[in-house]
Structure 1
């Protein structure tokens, strides 16, 4: 009888020395993920594709340094490279020796095959993704990622962990190999009905992740492997993820309105309001430290403002940025170099008044004297028309407007890109939103709506 891979490889699975982890120094709070423009994000369905000489040399060095990897897997190509790891496509040479409940495609094929065929082991090659985690990553970071992946098993929309190995100071995680297309190949051509399917798949994954009280912290197109042909995507890369409540300290955003108003009125900020551009000469207040992990352009306002009680709503903001990217046909939409520039980019849209309110919500002060920033900002409708070259012509007097389905998408976008995290829509509510359920209305097949049931 086939053995369970997680059980049979328990001896080989990564085991970290707790004393060694305690000796590791605390990592920097800023965990910058890779630039979305520089990350690779496409796979091809071929086991014999040609590879570059540099990639072949890289694979050879990996096989030489990681003892025994050749006996289990045949490395084929490098399919991803990020800040903390490199991912390779490989053939699983021991596939038929284990129970592979993670293989969705194989389960679908077996469902429609004859009983005799089911009893025979599949002779076709089976591929996996091998994630080589760089030795510069701390043991605690590696252990956290593998533990979260194990806890998130059971969802077809979240990449499961098959197994993990360690050799000396190197760690590799074995993950399913998913066919998908590079986001840059289709984001300009995706129609609104296709966007509904994309985000239905993404929020199904986020609903499962958030139900486990886990923050992904790095939602972006290259971390959601989407196959437009199948209308199915898989959420990957939990290297920056963490559990809800990790290293929390009280933030003003969790206080009641009266308490927060009292604190603002008795703050140093309130005492200096009657003096233009006045700041304390000797400010003895300690600087605020908070987790700012993620990718430039996809961080929520509360992350940029160093909120110390961040929750799952930060992933919803990042998903909103993806929707704005699709509607505007601009990628990346936000492309700031630091947190200050990122706040100013958001201010351009929401306006100075909204950004000041958002900053005070988290006990921070936002001030800018740049005259081009208006108090009320600009609507998403206007921004999308600008970006898609549909601005109204003053000479002709014709006012251009969004299509009806685009207006529905923008209505949904406002709920995702809400500056107040307490008012931002959740993944569960997003799946119930008319924008995502419209294509499923009137369906007589109950199976079409099976994943509307809460996890």
Structure 2
């Protein structure tokens, strides 16, 4: 990692971060910034469910416009003091960037919106907005001077991700390496550069205009949902082809520009390469083996705890955000794959279709497992647990053996069926059968994403060819 210098080439191309490009001299290292940091088990973004009428397109655009304001008057005193302290302790940062506001905070980092004061000194191949609005085209000679002056007056924004000193050096290096490797996809945030000053490390990432998920998810049409997930799965396809697991797919880590219908996947703080710390898990076998089935023949369970439990302990990566973690993560699978990201994306789709956010809101792993069992039923959860060498049992009377279809869950959530018995049940089944064709396609796609068995779950490339996303 370069200390006290910008790894970008002046007037040429962005320097290769890990291959010893020439470093510009600087008295103080600069920070790099990015999307909101992910959370590990035990931490959760408290994002309350919204109640009320769906917002129309105009209200969403209004929220979008308000979100883009960089007025320093909107920054409260505490945040302003925090940014001033940051500039004082990270020598030289204020000569390169003008901090505007704080746009995110997580377990391992804080993220600030800032103006890149030295933007014109570098050839910024990461700036997709420049290509989108035509600023990369040369103006006619007669207008070149006026064009250049106008372009220079227009501020260029970046996101500065200040990584906390409590993060391990290995964790920081891992995130920067993965971001560097994933450059080249429009739907994945690129790493511009990174700096270190003493024990502080920052990453500089593009600032991406976006709207708070809670302001628009209820108003999305099916076509809007398809465009959203086309962009998300395009990002996942790129990430997964590199054999990288993001581990923290959720709305706050997919910054979506509602006006341009484009999103960017951010925050690779929990990401890892597939196969890291793998050990044998029964789910690697095809189907349930006889040894797994033998567990089903276990004697009647007794209450209480085993006094001397000689079973070996199981250690598995459980990082992620509660409510979005796949069943195999909850069952401590030791051979987790990129399919855990697909499950998380499915939860986002379930949130949109049900118009409830967050959909799952568990306090711990046990509650999270019960929430999933409420939908899929005890029988399927038992089979899922056996795939990973675990046992699932519950005596909660409201959890049935068979569970419910996702279509029924969505119609319940949107108050289109009552959920009663007798004649009410017959009416519910009739309404469920009369779902629109588009909604049925969305539900079928959702079922492929929320498949309990990761081996049968759809992958990102297959998702791009599914009817729900095909043709966009």
Q: TM-score, normalised by structure 2?
A: 0.83
After TM superposition, the structure 1 = structure 2 runs for residues 218-233 of structure 1, keeping only pairs within 5 Å, are: 218-233=248-263
The equivalent residue for 2:57 is: none
Q: SS of 1:63's equivalent?
A: helix
Would the aligned equivalents of 1:253 and 1:361 in 2 still touch at CA under 8 Å? yes
Aligned twin of 1:275? 300
- Taking a change above 3 Å as real, the CA distance of residues 44 and 397 of structure 1, as seen in their structure-2 partners, is closer
Report deviation, 1:30: 5.4
Pairwise CA distance, 1:205: 0.4
Paired residue secondary structure (2:218): coil
The answer for the alignment partner of 2:181 in structure 1 is 151
Where 1:196 maps in the other structure, the secondary structure is: helix
Quick check: 2:41–2:322 contact (8 Å CA) kept in 1?
A: no
2: CA distance between counterparts of 1:113 and 1:386? Answer: 56
Tell me if structure 2 keeps the 8 A contact 1:214–1:241.
yes
Aligned pair 1:83/2:110, yes or no? no
Question: Is the deviation greater in 355-364 or in 47-56?
Answer: 47-56
| 1:391 counterpart SS class | coil
**1:349-364 correspondence to structure 2 within 5 Å:** 349-364=375-390
Contact kept in structure 1, 2:354 and 2:414, CA below 8 Å? yes
After superposition, residues 201-240 of structure 1 pair within 5 angstroms as 201-240=231-270
Structure 1 residue 286, shift from structure 2 partner: 1.3
Distance in 1 (CA, whole Å) between partners of 2:25 and 2:237 is: 33
Partner of 2:228: 198
335, 341, 345: which one aligns with 2:367: 341
Superposed CA deviations along residues 281-308 of structure 1, whole A, max 9, x for unmatched, are 5331111010000000000000000000
2:192 is the counterpart of 1:165: no
Residues 196 and 59 of structure 1: CA distance in aligned 2, closer, same or farther (over 3 Å): same
Aligned counterpart in structure 2 of residue 407 of structure 1, from 427, 430, 440: 440
1:414-434 superposed Cα distances (whole Å, 9 cap, x missing partner): 000000000000111101001
1:35 aligned to 2:45?
yes
Match of 1:261 among 281, 284, 289: 289
Deviation readout 1:109-151 (Å, 9 max, x if unpaired)? 2355535449947301111000001111111111100000000
Q: Is the 8 A contact 2:13 2:125 kept in 1?
A: no
Deviation at 1:33, TM superposition (A): 5.1
**Equivalence for 2:7:** none
Which of 317, 326, 348 is the equivalent residue of 2:352?
326
Shift of 1:389: 1.0
The 3-state SS of whatever aligns with 1:437 is coil
Pair 1:391 & 2:391 matched: no
Report how far residue 406 of structure 1 moved. 1.3
Query: Offset of 1:237 from its aligned partner?
Result: 0.2
String of CA shifts for 1:82-101, please: whole Å, max 9, x gaps. 11111101000110111100
Is 1:178 the counterpart of 2:226? The answer is no
- Cα distance in structure 2, aligned partners of 1:370 and 1:432: 40
| 3-state secondary structure, aligned to 1:274 | coil
When residues 45 and 35 of structure 1 are mapped into structure 2, their CA distance, relative to the original with a 3 A threshold, is closer
CA deviation vs aligned residue, 1:130-177 (integer Å, no higher than 9, x gap): 000111111111110000000000111100000111111111100000
Structure 1 segment 132-151 matched on structure 2, within 5 A = 132-151=162-181
**Aligned partners of 1:350 and 1:378 also within 8 Å:** yes
- Name the structure 2 match of 1:63: 87
Structure 2 unmatched runs, 5+? 1-9, 16-20, 30-38, 49-62
Superposition TM-score, scaled by structure 1 size:
0.86
Shift of 1:192: 0.8
CA shift, 1:334, in A, is 0.2
1:36 to partner: Cα distance: 5.2
Provide closer, same or farther for how the CA distance between residues 190 and 288 of structure 1 changes in structure 2, counting only shifts above 3 A: same
Which shifted more, 294-303 or 131-140? 131-140
Q: Is the 8 A contact 2:97 2:116 kept in 1?
A: yes
Q: Where does residue 3 of structure 1 map in the other structure?
A: 12
Alpha-carbon distance between aligned partners in 2 of 1:164 and 1:111, rounded to the nearest angstrom: 25
For structure 1, the residue ranges without an aligned partner over 5 or more in a row are 15-28, 441-455
C-alpha RMSD of the superposition? 2.6
Q: How does 1:359-374 map to 2 (within 5 A)?
A: 359-374=385-400
Which residue among 44, 48, 52 is the counterpart of 2:76? 52
CA distance in 2: counterparts of 1:77 and 1:332, whole angstroms: 26
Distance of aligned partners of 1:113 and 1:5 in 2 relative to their CA distance in 1, 3 Å threshold: closer
* Helix, strand or coil at the partner of 1:188: helix
Three-state SS of the structure 2 residue aligned to 1:78 is strand
C-alpha deviations, 1:215-265, integer Å up to 9, x for none? Answer: 0000000000001110100000000000010000010000244xx523325
- Cα deviation, 1:369-400, whole Å, max 9, x if unaligned, reads 11111001011111111111111585795743
